[in-house]
Homo-oligomer: A and B are copies of this chain.
């Protein structure tokens, strides 16, 4: 017998060289038509520098297509001015109001912001620095014709978060198990192939442009699990990183590198990587100096240490603050940061031991270290306490580190949410996480903490980071609709308080311009119908009530109800013939609920108050337990699983109505994926329902077929 197949073969492009002769990748949300409003105008681009050149080139390309014209010095009347304030006297075309005190959102645009105003028929974007001008341009693209209508008061736009980052889990050498991209569902890497740089400059520039249009200003270019080949990027193969940095620099994107904590041993021939060893400190300092000599705007290091087999300071009896501060010290003189991941847990647990709890691990490891991290350490925390599930509580670490700079880590790549075979728009889920009020309803949210919104007690602000979902697939993401996740993430990183439905509208307007589709209203309505609730649909047909991890261990695609139940990974549901769920209360369970500040510690501790959607994350209950919804747990399982599949059927049927109305390649690809989603959702429904029926013996109250 051969091994069981798990995920469907990825229906992506064959991994052939992408050169000049290859068709360009899909334009995603930046098709030429999206630039019509700008391209039809007389435009002045004023200022100097690489990023201003990028702005000029974008405008010039749009004007060439749509009949406008662009100039870099004043010559005749203009409709649009994009200008740097510090590059000499402003052209006359700028109305006086633009230089007056700004209205709402006032203050200086700063490094990355811009000021937008319109009067006397001229739209004006002013910035203090080139990146702001670039972001201002893409803001105009989003506004379209609305940017050229009526009078508009002066308004300053600035990113709410300073660092907006995508982490690529791309391997340079193909990993024997994880492949070219760990948890990649969109073909090969855009950076690397078979141990070498891919060398596809065209694709990387196109990617930089997409990043800039969302406001992403940092990426890491290799997997946090750093293999022998990848380790060399820091030294011998630094040129490969510099080449990427050169290509992304015109788009305001700084490059970061995942490094192994063992680098002094692996690369430097030292006998130790002890963070308190002088030789080790010297090695990191000199190595980092060489990095900055080659890449002056290098962003910094990303480190996964003492986690899932990666080396770290524990080997030397040191703690994570010692480890992170070592690298931070080497980076500080150059303005770099270290992103130190808090995803640290024992991945060799004994399933028989119900007292320990993987969910506790990050808090237990890091909360005691608050205050000990250097200024340029960013503690990067997965949004939930376990691992990117479609439903988890928000990580208690975020509220526990007031004296530490934080990054919250999301996962755009759909490892546990359908692997870009399932349509699953994740922005509503991220929005829930970001809007979660850590200390109760009237207090600051996760977004507020990252934005450094003042509140009782200190907080140092932070970054929003996500694991990327792009590859060399012609649609970038495998599933064309997964582009919406990438877009929404970038926009939430700019401002984590944005509304997911509004972001989807933005994405639809840009990706499917009204002039390019058959029935714009139907396209919009269909995309909303398919995507708006798709994350909750996914939740319905997979693991119930926050219990998580009923997924196939071989690749995390499709159901494996008991797949992790007797494993070493610490992710159990403890279903038996009487009930299901993990007791994480302080009274009788693992005590995880006590890691939250009040009121959440009490809410989660209480069987009565705990929200339904997290019930089985915090409590082990009988199948007959009645939810706030009025349903029993077992009936809820049956109902949501039948409903989830019905919703996928509806998605598929809705989508079929767009045939002939949009790009047939996109329509076909999505149609193919929806068929697979329906097959897989049906499998989830039947396996989960059968599993719980066989366990509980309780028949479905509505008499539907359970196998």
Contact = CB atoms under 8 A, between A and B. Distances in A.
Contacts of A577: 577, 694-697
Interface in A564-580: 566-569, 575-578
A4 B562 contact: no
A690 interface: yes
Interface stretch (A70-78, A155-163, A551-559): A551-559
A562 B694 CA distance: 12
Given A576-B694, A694-B575, A697-B576, A555 B3 contact: yes
A568 B683 CA distance: 11
B2 A567 contact: no
A547 to B, nearest CB: 15
A9 interface: no
A5 to B, nearest CB: 8
B177 A2 contact: yes
Interface in A1-41: 1-4
Contacts of A695: 576-577, 694-695
Nearest to A225: B2
Given A561-B562, A577-B696, A694-B577, A4 B177 contact: no
A352 B707 CA distance: 6
A293 interface: no
Given A562-B561, A695-B577, A4 B352 contact: no
Contact of A308 (B2, B225, B553, B561): B2
A309 B695 CA distance: 35
Given A577-B694, A694-B575, A694-B577, A3 B554 contact: yes
A308 to B, nearest CB: 5
Given A352-B686, A561-B562, A569 B1 contact: yes
A3 B576 contact: no
A483 interface: no
A522 interface: no
Nearest to A351: B707
A1 B308 contact: yes
A200 interface: no
Contacts of A177: 2-3
Given A562-B561, A566-B561, A566-B690, A2 B178 contact: yes
A556 B4 CA distance: 11
Contact of A309 (B2, B351, B554, B568): B2
B576 A687 contact: no
A391 to B, nearest CB: 17
A577 B697 CA distance: 7
A574 to B, nearest CB: 8
A532 interface: no
A4 B707 contact: no
A506 interface: no
A559 B686 CA distance: 23
Nearest to A571: B1
Contacts of A556: 1
A205 B576 CA distance: 56
Contacts of A2: 177-178, 225, 308-309
Given A352-B686, A553-B554, A578-B697, 13 more contacts: A1-B308, A1-B347, A1-B569, A2-B178, A2-B309, A4-B553, A351-B707, A352-B707, A554-B554, A576-B694, A576-B695, A577-B577, A694-B695
20 contacts: A1-B308, A1-B347, A1-B556, A2-B178, A2-B225, A3-B178, A3-B553, A3-B554, A3-B555, A4-B553, A352-B686, A352-B707, A561-B562, A561-B566, A562-B563, A562-B691, A576-B693, A576-B695, A576-B697, A578-B697
**Which 5 pairs across A and B sit closest by C-beta, in order of nearness?**
A576-B694, A352-B707, A562-B562, A566-B687, A577-B577
